[in-house]
Amino acid sequence: MAARYPDNDALVYVEPPLRYTYQQFRDVCNQAAKGLMKIGIQKGEHISIWANNVPEWVITQFATGKMGAVLVTVNTNYRTFELEYLLKQSDSTTLLLIAGIKGREYLDMVYELCPELYSCAPGQLQSARLPLLKNVIYIGPEKMPGMYNWIDIMEMGNQVSDEELAARQASLQPDEVINMQYTSGTTGFPKGVMLTHTNLIGNACSVAECMAFTHRDRLCIPVPFFHCFGCVLGTLTCVVSGATMVPVVAFHPAAVLRTVEKEKCTALHGVPTMFIAELEELSKQKYDTSSLRTGIMAGAPCPIEVMKAVVNTMGAREICITYGQTEASPGITMTRTDDPIELRVSTVGRALPNVEVKIVNPETGETVPPGVQGELCTRGYHVMKGYYNMPEATASAIDKEGWLHTGDLAVMDKSGYCKITGRLKDMIIRGGENVYPREIEEFLYTNPKIKDIQIVGVPSEKYGEEVVAFIQLKEGEQATPEEIKEFCRDKISRHKIPAYVFFVDQYPTTASGKIQKYKLRERAIKELGREKAAQIETA
C-alpha cells in the first residue's frame, strides 16, 4: 500500500494531532520493528501491549507483524489479578504500557507485580512472580525505573540494518501465529486465541469487500484496539484497502463526532451503546457527519430505532452489521452495503466471502433445515489456530472437520441470512464486552465470607445485559451488596463487577443437583423489574 499510495494519509489523529502518509507510516513501523529486534526479541516471542488507542499501539501492531513477534493484546480494563494471569499464561517476555487511563494506575500495578523493576536495568528484569518477563517498555517520554521508553526503542532501531529486518520478514510464513487475544470460556480463566497472518489479513479483506472499502475511505475507529473489532475490522481493514485509519484515543461521543467532522470520515465503527451516545450528543450540538457512508455496528444486538437514526441522522446509509467472535478473527457473517435496512436490523447478515456457515442440531451435530434453530458453526481461513497451551479446549471448540462451534444459537433463512437467537454458553455481553460468569465466580470464591456464588446476566436497555450475583454466605457470616462490590474494585475489570447482589440460602436445582441458572436469571428479571428489557432482547 505504501508503494501504491505513498502520499495518501495512512494514520491520522485529531487529538493530539498526528498525520502519517503511507510511506511515513511504513518507515516508522520498520524503525520500531528494528528497535524490537535490537533488544533481542526473536521471531515467535510474545509481546503484550496494555494501552488505549494511542499511535504507538498501531505502530506496534505492524512492527511486530514485520519482525515476527506475537502481539498479545491486553484489555484496558484489566487489574492486577487479570494482568498477572495473562502475562503468565501467555509466556510474555515483553510488556509495553502507557501510564494508565486515569493517571498512573498501570505503572503502579506493574511495579506492584514486579518490584524488582525499581533496581534493575532496562531489559534485565528478573521477576519472582513473572519469571519470563524481561523487557518492560513505557509508552511515554519519561524515564521509568527498570523500563525502556518508546523513544529508546525507536533510537535503537538505528543499530539494526534494513537488510536484517528484510531477512527476518522473509522468514515469516502466512500460517504462523502473529496475534493472541484473550477470551474467556464458561469454565475457568481466559484463553489465548492464536491468530495467524492469514486469519487476520483474510478477515480484513473479506470485511473490506462487504463495506466496498477503497483508498478513498477514511475510517473513524473509537472501538478499542485490544479487541478484534479495533485491530482487525478497524486498522487492518483500512490497510488492506489503502484507506485512512482515524483512531480516537479514548471513546467520548463529542471526540468521535469532532473527528468525523474534521477529517471528513466516510466510515465509523462502534457498538450500539457508542452510537446511542453519539446520537444523544448530536441532539444537543450540531456536527457535520454528512461525509459518513458506512461502518460497522457490532458487539451486541442493534435496536432498529438506533439503526434508523444512524442512517437518517448521521447519514451512514450503508452501515453494516457484523457478527463474529475472537476465535474467528473475528468476522463470520455480515450484512452488505446494499442490503435493505430491514435485513440489516433483523439479521446479522450472511457468511463473509470465502467463509462457510452452517446451523447444526447441538445434540446430534446434523445440519438443520432453513428456519430451524441450532448452533452456528463456521469453517474457513478465518478459524483460529487454537487456544495457547490449551489443546483440550481447542479440541472442544474446533471439531475434526475444522468447524468452529460458536456456542451461539441461530436461525438461517433460505438466502443464508442468520439471526442470533440465544446462547448455549452462559456468557453475558455488557456494552459490547464479553463477560464470563465462571471467571467472576472463581474470583469471588477468594472472598472468605462466600460459600457459593452464581453469576447470571439480566437484560438492560442501556448496556444490553448487566451482571447479577447470587451469593450464599458461610454460616454465621454477614455481608452487604456494597461490601461485595468493594471487594471486586480494582481487582477485576469494572464491567465484570456485579451491578446487583442477592443473598440466598439455596439455589434452584435439577433432579441431578445441577444449578438452574436460567431460573436465577428469571428471578433477577422479576425482582429488578426488567421484563420490558427482556422483551426487547428477544424481539
Q: Which triple of cell numbers denotes residue 531?
A: 421484563
Q: Does the pLDDT at position 150 exceed 90?
A: yes
Residue 100 pLDDT more than 50?
Answer: yes
4-18, 331-345, 498-512: range with highest mean pLDDT: 4-18
Residue 106 grid cell = 498501570
Residue with cell 462487504: 210
| Residue listed under C-alpha cell 444459537 | 409
How many CB atoms are located within 10 Å of the residue 338 CB?
A: 7
Reported confidence tier of residue 507, pLDDT bands at 50, 70, 90: confident
Rounded CA-CA distance 198/195 in Å is 8
pLDDT attached to residue 539:
39
pLDDT of residue 17: 97
In the chain the domains, ranked by start, together with CATH numbers, are 18-172 (3.40.50.12780), 428-538 (3.30.300.30)
Residue 530 or 255, more confident: 255
Closest CA to 230 of 261, 207, 213, 259: 207
249 vs 532, more confident: 249
Which phi and psi (to 5°) does residue 428 adopt? -110, 140
Each residue's pLDDT tens digit, 80-92: 999 999 999 999 9
Q: Is 38:46 a contact under the CB 8 Å cutoff? A: no
- 96 forms beta bridges with 49, 137
% of the chain with per-residue pLDDT over 90: 80
What is the structure's pLDDT at 215? 98
Q: Rounded to whole angstroms, how far apart are CA atoms 503 and 481?
A: 8
Mean pLDDT of the chain: 93
Which phi and psi angles does 290 have, rounded to 5°? Answer: -65, -15
* CB count in 10 Å sphere of residue 531: 10
Do residues 188 and 428 touch, judged by C-beta distance below 8 A? no
Question: Is pLDDT of 538 > 50?
Answer: no
pTM of the model: 0.84
- Omega prior to 330 cis, within 30 of 0: yes
pLDDT tens digits, 19-30: 999 999 999 999
- pLDDT tens digit sequence for 340-399: 988 888 899 999 999 999 999 987 899 999 999 899 999 999 999 999 999 999 999 999
Predicted pLDDT of residue 511: 52
Span 14-38, average pLDDT = 98
The pLDDT of residue 537 is above 50: no
